[in-house]
Amino acid sequence: MSNSYLYFYFYLAAFVIGVTLYVNRQRRKHTTHVAQLQQAVESGLMEPPSLHPVVDKTRCMGSGACVSACPERALGVVAGKAVLINAAHCIGHGACAAACPVEAIKLVFGTEKRGIDIPNVTPNFETNVPGIFIAGELGGMGLIRKAAEQGRQAVNSLRKKAGGKADFDVVIVGCGPAGLSAGLSAIEHKLRYKLMEQEDSLGGSVYHYPRQKVAMTAPVDLALIGKVKFGEVQKEKLLEFWQDVVKKTGLKVSFRERMEGIDRENGGFVVRTNRGKYTTNTVLLAMGRRGTPRKLDVPGEETHKVMYRLIDPAQYQGQAVLVVGGGDSALEAAIALSEQPGTEVTLSYRSAAFSRVKQKNRMLLEQAEKAGRIKVMLNSQTTRVTETQVEIDYEGIPQRLRNDAVIVCAGGLLPTPLLQSIGIEFETKYGES
């Protein structure tokens, strides 16, 4: 046999082996993605929390570029097409859409079954109420770099209304990406501004991302700072960067101040908060879509021991802690607390079963319950909080439990009714950009 035939068979064999390995690898990926999709369906986790990708199946070529680009592994390829297989993991940073070679992905709010209310705004971010502007996630923009750009542009638009006898030219509500960027722009344009944040930290929705999650995947422009050349950056590094920006620029943020209402007065507005009232020419609403924490509305909830998120499980070591809620955040809080030495953990949920939680959290909770580290009380509701106890209605029977702290993980209430009360119009999005 001549050398030419030997080379031919050698390359043919190499080609066949390569194709076989590729096909087998794709089959394994397909099997894995189908299993993850099925698990998400069974766990009731197919409703994305906010901005998320929708794939045009007629354009998708199944390259998997979007899957590789997604740090959260929220996408998979099933039957040759990209599919959102872990909707609950998606945080809407848009890396998948940017990676798609055929532009088959768009980012949308809401689904066919569950609509999301988005306020109507003009191209300069002003609502139908003259003088009230909206930028960022509340207005339908979940991408950090674009939310920051909207905050900058909104201030550029509203600065034309500066001046007069009001306390401020602009009151900015929310210190996430849009609010922080707007505050920097207000300084740049020498505006009298007040920037308030209802929580005790920067970041808005980003602050509540899971640990080590990739929060941003592209550069962003900030007033006074310039272009920030981030590639993929994790939540912790981004929050650290923002804190450094505040120190360097002298940006003033009023933490733990919550907007409670807006009234029109003398051609401007009066913004009412839990700390006071401020007159202003304009208002920029830059809060996220997590909303104000949903409360228990029971006697004693105002005490210092009731919190609405778990920051550091170690601080509750050796204490009796009640966690209220039935979502992933509640289960994760209870599990983390149960790992602390001497901590006595009770998880209370009003329904008969956990229906919308990740399988991993469900499994870890069952293990902790069997080990006696967590007491799970389904069909229960907290009725009273005292200094040393909590009162719970458990399947119709009143009970009292020793208690040092209460962590409420019951979601948030969007300010939609408040904004509608001052005349802001909304449109319900059902899987639309």
Please classify residue 297 by burial: count the beta carbons closer than 10 Å to its beta carbon, then call 0-12 exposed, 13-18 middle and 19+ buried: exposed
Residue for token digits 């909707």?
87
Q: Burial code of 83-106, b = ≥16 C-beta within 10 A, e = fewer?
A: bbbbbbbbbbbbbbbebbeeebbe
Residue 119's pLDDT band, with cuts at 50, 70 and 90, is confident
Inter-helix orientation angle 144-158/177-188, to 10°: 40
Q: Which CATH number characterizes residue 344's domain?
A: 3.50.50.60
Q: How far apart are CA 288 and CA 7, in angstroms?
A: 63
Domain that holds residue 287: 117-291+415-429
| High-pLDDT (> 90) share of the chain, % | 44
Domain count, the chain: 3
- Name the nearest CA neighbour of 204 among 412, 410, 45, 428: 412
383 and 425 part of one domain? no
Instruction: List, for residues 138-179, the tens digit of each pLDDT value.
Output: 887 667 788 888 999 999 999 999 888 899 999 999 988 899
Which pair of tokens denotes residue 298? Answer: 């029971």
Let me know whether 73 and 152 are in one domain.
no
Q: Tell whether the model's pLDDT for residue 374 goes beyond 70.
A: yes
In 3D space, the residue among 194, 347, 218, 387 whose CA is nearest the CA of residue 280 turns out to be: 194
Q: What's the confidence (pLDDT) of residue 101?
A: 93
pLDDT at 90: 78
Of 30-44, 86-100, 328-342, give the range with the top mean pLDDT. 328-342
- Count CA within 13 A, CB hemisphere, residue 161: 23
In this predicted structure, what is the pLDDT of residue 44? 65
| Residue-level pLDDT at 361 | 86
Asked if residue 313 is part of any domain, the answer here is yes
Which of 321, 298, 299 is CA-nearest to residue 310? 321
> Do 138 and 229 share a domain, yes or no?
yes
Structure confidence at residue 406 (pLDDT): 97
45 and 152 housed in the same domain: no
The pLDDT value given to residue 301: 94
Q: Are both 243 and 366 inside the same structural domain?
A: no
Q: Is residue 32 part of a domain?
A: yes
Give the model's confidence band at 103: pLDDT under 50 very low, under 70 low, under 90 confident, else very high: very high
Q: What does the pLDDT read at residue 404?
A: 97
In a domain, 379, yes or no: yes
287 and 372 inside one domain:
no
Q: Is 301 contained in some domain?
A: no
Same domain, 100 and 121: no
Of 183-192, 198-207, 263-272, 417-426, the one with minimum mean pLDDT is: 198-207
Average pLDDT of the residues in 110-114: 76
Q: Are residues 207 and 352 in the same domain?
A: no
Confidence band (pLDDT; 50, 70, 90) for 291?
low
Of 92-96, 121-125, 139-143, where does the model show the most confidence? 121-125
**Is residue 298 assigned to a domain?**
no
pLDDT category at 202 given cuts 50, 70, 90 is: confident
> Span 4-25, mean pLDDT?
69
Q: Is 122 in the same domain as 34? A: no
Which has more confidence, 38 or 287?
A: 287
Q: What is the pLDDT of residue 111?
A: 78
pLDDT in tens, 225-276: 988 877 677 778 888 888 999 999 999 999 989 898 999 988 899 999 999 9
In a domain, 250, yes or no: yes
Question: For the domain that residue 28 is a member of, what is the CATH number?
Answer: 3.30.70.20
Long-range contacts of 425-428 (CB under 8 A, 24+ apart): 425/119, 425/120, 425/127, 425/128, 426/117, 426/118, 426/119, 426/120, 427/117, 427/118, 427/119, 427/120, 428/110, 428/115, 428/116, 428/117, 428/118
pLDDT (average), residues 394-412: 93
Same domain, 253 and 389: no
User: Is residue 300 in a domain?
Assistant: no
Provide the pLDDT for residue 368.
96
Highest mean pLDDT: which range of 33-37, 203-207, 377-381: 377-381
pLDDT score recorded for residue 194: 97
Residue 42 is assigned to a structural domain of this protein? yes
Task: Say if residue 316 is in the same domain as residue 404.
Answer: yes
Share of the chain above pLDDT 70, in %: 86
Does 284 share its domain with 330?
A: no
Please give the pLDDT value at position 88: 72
Higher pLDDT, 43 or 359: 359
Mean pLDDT of the chain: 85
**H-run or E-run covering 22:** helix 3-42
At residue 405 the predicted structure's pLDDT band, cuts being 50, 70 and 90, is very high
